[in-house]
Amino acid sequence: MADQINFEVRIQAPTLDHYRREWVPGPGVGPAGMWIGAVVADASGRDYWGLRGADDFLVGMTHVVSPITGFKKLPASFNPEPPHLFPEYSTIDWFKPMEYHDSGDKVSLEYYSGRIERDDGFHWYDASGRWEMHGKNVTDVFTVHVPAQDGIEDEVYYRHELMAATGVIDGIEVSGYLHQDYAYGPPGTVYPELPIARRLQGMWVSWLHQNPDGQWGGGCFWQGRDGLSFGPGYQLKEGITTAHDDIVATPTFNDEGKLTRLAASIGSDSYSFEFDTSGSYIHFFGRLVDSSSGKQPSRSWCWVEYAGGMLTPELLDLMLQRFRLARGR
């Protein structure tokens, strides 16, 4: 595979059509994964992390991405196994069939343990009332397209957006950030079969911060694996979302291989993050501590996925083995 990957980035204003099942970012592709992620805090400053996947191992099925999280408290520790709020999600990855409904002014995905809705906002409900999360877009929709090329057998699209979040978890009011991201590939494929997971991803970063005047900032970006030049992403600055194709990030790790700092350059802007928390063996959480704007945020959340060389094509194929019969293979 070449050291330089060809790809394209774009920004679109979000519309309800973006969340309809029939929407695709380009011809000849279908859904290969959708994820809901929440990183929020209560009034005391305690952080929580929630995650749900859909279509990424079995199209038409949703799951809680166990044992990583259903919802977890996030104490400031590099312990890779912080406590689960709801124990049933700590052991078995509960896959559930989804039903899709489109009423014209609202679309929803419903499953046995809850539902996800999009109207002029975002809504995520647990069927037992243990949590509900609500979001409003603060960014446009970012999409990166990696066409088939040398070393990349199948084209892939990835899209991402950030939302300001409010909600209740286990009876406690929380606020912070939500994101919703999607992957698309050749019809019938799922995310672990696509080249971002198998060949390209070295690091994935998503963050949101709020300044004392209430204005939001944030963004999301990738970094290539093993020195590969791959830096697509976007940032939100002064209310405007801009896409970039040359983001560069420099991580710092401690002696145990835990991510402790990250410096990123996005266009003419720079950002510095510090980390003190793990959500799993590959997920790290921290905050924005400095930027070229000179503004000190009143609140911030940064979430990084870094697996080193762990997520090899061989390991991803092994993960997919148990889904072969369900996929008719």
pTM: 0.95
Residue environment code for 160-174, b if the CB has 16+ CB neighbours within 10 A, otherwise e: bbbbbbbbbbeeeeb
User: Is residue 3 situated within a structural domain?
Assistant: no
Tell me: the pLDDT tens digits for 106-146? 999 999 999 999 999 999 999 999 999 999 999 999 999 99
Does the structure show a pLDDT above 90 at 66? no
User: Is residue 2 situated within a structural domain?
Assistant: no
pLDDT at 1: 55
Residue environment code for 272-311, b if the CB has 16+ CB neighbours within 10 A, otherwise e: ebebbbbbbebbbbbbbeebeeeeebebbbbbbbbbeeeb
How far is C-alpha 36 from the geometric centre of its chain's CA atoms? 7
User: Is residue 61 situated within a structural domain?
Assistant: yes
Tell me: the pLDDT tens digits for 301-329? 999 999 987 888 999 999 999 999 999 88
Tell me: the pLDDT tens digits for 228-269? 999 999 999 999 999 999 999 999 999 999 999 999 999 999
89: left (phi over 0), alpha (psi -120 to 50) or beta: alpha
Residue environment code for 114-148, b if the CB has 16+ CB neighbours within 10 A, otherwise e: bbbbbeeebbbbbeeebbebbbebbbbbbbbbbee
User: Is residue 168 situated within a structural domain?
Assistant: yes
The total domain count for the chain is 1
Q: Measure Cα distances from 95 to 206, 225, 323 in Å.
A: 26, 30, 11
N-terminal to C-terminal alpha carbon distance within the chain: 28
Does the structure show a pLDDT above 90 at 92? no
How many CB atoms are closer than 10 A to CB 66?
A: 18
User: Is residue 118 situated within a structural domain?
Assistant: yes
Q: How far apart are CA 113 and CA 9, in angstroms?
A: 35
The beta-carbon contacts of 114-121 under 8 Å, at least 24 apart in sequence, are 116/36, 116/52, 118/16, 118/19, 119/16, 121/163
User: Is residue 153 situated within a structural domain?
Assistant: yes
User: Is residue 151 situated within a structural domain?
Assistant: yes
Parent domain of 17:
8-323
User: Is residue 1 situated within a structural domain?
Assistant: no
Mean pLDDT of 82-92: 86
